[in-house]
Amino acid sequence: MTYTYLHNPGCSTSRKGLELLESKGIKPDVRKYMNASEQLSVAELKDIAKKMGGVSPRAFLREKNAAEAGLAEDAKDEVAYAAMAENPKIIQRPILIKGNKAVLGRPIEKLLELI
């Protein structure tokens, strides 16, 4: 089965997570979601939340960056999804997806749960 790795090359944790996967022989499809051509849609973000077990988007939201971007702490999920699609900097990373499962790699060892 194919792995998809949501990667921000500018993030050291994301780079270390990719190195960890590769050290285990996993060569995921890498999606650099910060690039305009690879940004995540609201539908994709909702699918990721579902694959994480039906979590709120806040489970993979960078709270500090969200506040800087003007997202209110008490914003509804729909507003959070829209903000994440509009401003990918506020998405926590890395995220590994395999089939109908996804995991946030914080700490990066959590990525191994999908292997």
The residues that are catalytic are 11
Cα–Cα distance for residue pair 9/45, rounded to 1 Å: 19
Residue 101 CA neighbour count, 13 Å, CB half: 12
Cα–Cα distance for residue pair 28/76, rounded to 1 Å: 32
Tokens representing 78? 């729909």
Query: Token pair 């077990």 is at which residue?
Result: 53
Residues 6+ apart with CB under 8 A from 54: none
